[in-house]
Amino acid sequence: MIGLIRVFTTEDSEVLEQHGQMISKIYGVPVINKCIPDQPLGIFNNETEEIANPKIVELGKSMEKEGCKLLIISCAADPAIEQLRKSVSIPVIGAGSAASLTALAMGQPVGVMGISDCVPAVMENILGNLMVQYIRPEGVTNTTDLMTAAGREKAVEAARKLLDQGTKVIVFACTGFSTIGLANTLRKELNVPVIDAVEAEGLFASNLYKQFSITN
């Protein structure tokens, strides 16, 4: 089983399982989804990240004990990834590093789209000079904004701007884009390759998970 960590609190099982179901559907691997406690608004600044970090580590440790063969921190900022890697003996994959490393393997100029003011540090560090530009869709500051028709339209418009700047590949720096299926919209409407953060974490996780069926 792959253990997937959501870095906010929800009691809505449909919301909780969105990323895992996407990964199971695309790659045919089993995923169990869990979320951190007492943080319904998730991580939205340094302070809330500090509060979340130890919860992520504890959740990851308990999921290893429950038998997970590898863990995913399903957030583009890769919160607490180094701490968790030191605290468990199984591999830990992060959405932000997975998406950025996939872009690096392709080697083409990258445009990054997110909903924060700036790119997550982990992504900026990995992408380096390959990153042409970062963009936030106009008026979109949280994942709820993305659920509206206007939010989606602004996201497509932002992608068009990235292409105008020389972007050859669009990388998502927010897993909220996965939930609304924006990657396929951009692939179809703008004819551009898109690295979706949940698809990317699932690519590495499923590839590794399939090995365990050989080793164990």
Residues at the site binding a copy of itself, with contacts judged by CB under 8 A: 81, 85, 91-93, 97-98, 101-102, 104-108, 168-169, 184, 187-188, 191-194, 203-204, 207-208, 211-212, 214-216
Min dist CB 101 to a copy of itself, Å, is 4
CB of 85 to a copy of itself, least distance (A): 5
Query: Is 131 within 8 Å of 124 (Cβ atoms)?
Result: yes
Cβ nearer to a copy of itself, comparing 48 with 187: 187
What letter does residue 29 receive in the DSSP assignment? -
CB of 93 to a copy of itself, least distance (A): 6
For a copy of itself, the closer CB: 52 or 122: 122
Q: Which residue spans within 57-181 are E strands per DSSP?
A: 70-73, 92-94, 110-113, 131-135, 169-172
Minimal distance, residue 11 CB to a copy of itself, in Å: 31
Long-range contacts of 142-145 (CB under 8 A, 24+ apart): 142/44, 142/115, 142/176, 143/115, 143/174, 143/176, 143/179, 145/115
